[in-house]
Structure 1
Amino acid sequence: MKDMSPTTGPEGHGLSDMLSRAARAVDRWYRPVAPPERLAALRLLVGGFAVVYLAARLPNLLGLHGLGGFRPVGVVSVLAAPLPPAAVIVQALVALLLGLAFAVGLAFRVTGPAFALVLLWVLSYRNAWGMIFHTENLLVLHVLALGCSRAADVGSLDARRARRRGAAPPVPSTRYGWPLRLLALLTVGSYFVAGVAKLRLSGLGWATSDLLRNYIAYDNLRKHLLGDWYSPLGAWLVGHAWLFPPLATASLLLELLAPVALLGPRIARAWSLAAWAFHFGVWAIMAIFFPYPLLGLAFAPLFAVERLPLFRRLARAPA
């Protein structure tokens, strides 16, 4: 009888070796060795921004009760009705307190993931009242990633307590590299998904038609009629139709080409500057302010932020 058992020939070994090398290359790329100071610097930047953002929005967050038009989205879709006023106040204050603990690295193994989940809940609850604030999406994703990492091993109250107990200072490791890579992927991924959404909803007509011009005209007119702050520059520009196809094309390419920022520091710097200019343009012609990218925080995971003078001093500070 002919032997039908599988055999592994030279071709099989070659394919297996090739796949193994590819897997190791992907692993090295996704889990590079990185210094703990870089992750800690991002915790301070992102966590600090989140605390300031929550504090600035606190009056709004505390007032999310007794209103009409409750349409839960995201994680708050489990609610059939708005929360009672006391619960609304408690969740906002808990988010702020956990954010402070997150930023300074206090009991981070608990407060890190706890703040990430509470921030997701509180901002999703805010989005359940008729308007979805896309400006908050990347911030929440970054906090979720940082909250599940070892971002408080240095430059934190936890690290100071550990050093006083005689713990050795942490050294560069892949445990700090993979969260950094994830944060960078979340940044470029958010822009890439936005570009894909434009193509799915509008096709290439986004770049070749008056869609962008009409949207800018509608947004500014609506704000003007409602007595809100609008952009006189945007209102003037809509009279120059020839400008908008190039602007729409540039915005689409910026988003679809976002993954090139992962190819190296120089490309990351060029793409980040272009993305920052894009958000500045949106602010100038639509009066829509995206604080997270305009302050540079959305792009911080692409760079060695621990080399900033402030974080160099923190790294040298005695524990």
Structure 2
Amino acid sequence: MTRWLTEAVPRGRVAAFRTLVYLFVAADLVVFTPWVRTRVDVPGELYQPLLIGRLLPLPTPTPTLVAAIFWTLLPLALLAATGRAPRLLGWSVFALYFEWMIIAMSYGKVDHDRIGLLVALAALPTAGRARHGDPTRTEAGGWALRVTQIAVICTYFLAAWAKLRFGGLDWATGSVLARAIIRRGTDLADLIAQVPYLLIVAQFGILAFELLSPVVFLLPERWRQTTVGFFYSFHLATIATITISFAPHLVAMTSFLPLERIRPVVWARQLITSRRDGAAPTGPAADSPAPQDQGPAPDDVPAGAPTVAGPAPAVGPATL
């Protein structure tokens, strides 16, 4: 079990995953959850902190506190994406984003698509330094990716368990997807809903998919990547039909992928270097052809020697 949990991975994969995760944190603040800054305008008695917020305990958020978290977390996440000071910046980003999520989810609605991302933020500081494109392998980085993968799969499996716990088989035979399509469905979803019993079949399929998701860890590497591709296609269909993105979950799920093969930073450096090295010279010298070796000058040719220009004839048996 220990060997499986700490299976070594290339440092380049850890670096790419780290950059992606921290860039998403910055994007989340300004694109996906900017509404957290407006939640503090409601009366404080409406704030009902999650269990972790009651145990610590954490203060009731105020506009000043939320603004301080936002303007501190945003630049720190961008700095952490560079890979510098991975422990200092990593732990700082995790603590601030964790508090940001507690504030966001303490007003009556808790999103379950952020567990994998939070685990990734907690584990990445332990992975140590990693550079893009570095092929050397690291067990610490492998552990960080593995626990993130476990959190991703637990999100699926525990979602199925919650469906069965609170809804039983009625969840699969009911009108869950129909209600979702009525609330936020797209034109594509309206077309699908017209097919008899298709939504019921889809609900059984969702349950089966979530319950069987842990099987991904038992598959060979090639089939594991194919299965993860299926996971992404499932979420693509979800976005296209009921406009639910699960964006943080999708970012955490990249922990399954060989991200070291995608090296935008290395590619950018190579492109800049190749352009610099292959640039044509400028100036007067560039307008005239390069001098050619035409043999010795006439004054230097010894008497009786042939005056044919060019390299000296090769010495071999035929010339002796």
TM-score range, shorter-chain basis? 0.7 to 0.9
> Which deviations, in whole Å up to 9, do the C-alpha atoms of 1:51-95 show, x marking residues without a partner?
111122464232232214322224333568732221121112222
CA separation in 2, counterparts of 1:80 and 1:38? 35
Tell whether the 8 Å contact from 1:101 to 1:108 is kept in structure 2 after alignment.
Answer: no
Which structure 2 segments of 5+ residues have no match?
A: 272-320
The worse-fitting range, judged by mean Cα deviation, of 114-123 and 66-75 is: 66-75
The worse-fitting range, judged by mean Cα deviation, of 267-276 and 229-238 is: 229-238
Aligned residue number for residue 257 of structure 1? 212
Distance 1:314 1:29, change over 3 A: farther
Aligned counterpart for 1:103 among listed residues 59, 63, 81: 81
Aligned counterpart for 1:38 among listed residues 1, 13, 20: 13
> Which deviations, in whole Å up to 9, do the C-alpha atoms of 1:83-140 show, x marking residues without a partner?
2221121112222122112211232221101211211110220112232233333222
Higher relative contact order (CA 8 A, sep 6+): 2
Distance 1:253 1:89, change over 3 A: same
Distance 1:136 1:177, change over 3 A: closer
Aligned residue number for residue 305 of structure 2? none
Tell whether the 8 Å contact from 1:187 to 1:299 is kept in structure 2 after alignment.
Answer: yes
Aligned residue number for residue 52 of structure 2? 75
1:280 maps to amino acid? L
With normalisation by structure 2, the TM-score equals 0.73
Aligned residue number for residue 301 of structure 1? 255
Question: Does residue 272 of the first structure (1) align with residue 228 of the second (2)?
Answer: yes
2:226 maps to amino acid? A
Distance 1:67 1:241, change over 3 A: farther
Aligned residue number for residue 316 of structure 2? none
Which protein shows a greater Rg? 2
CA separation in 2, counterparts of 1:141 and 1:80? 20
Question: Does residue 218 of the first structure (1) align with residue 185 of the second (2)?
Answer: no
Distance 1:47 1:314, change over 3 A: farther
CA separation in 2, counterparts of 1:182 and 1:314? 31
The worse-fitting range, judged by mean Cα deviation, of 236-245 and 175-184 is: 236-245
* Identity of matched residues, %: 24
> Which has more helix, going by share of residues?
1
Question: Does residue 245 of the first structure (1) align with residue 220 of the second (2)?
Answer: no
Question: Does residue 189 of the first structure (1) align with residue 154 of the second (2)?
Answer: yes
SS at match of 1:75: helix
Which structure 1 segments of 5+ residues have no match?
A: 1-25, 157-168, 224-228
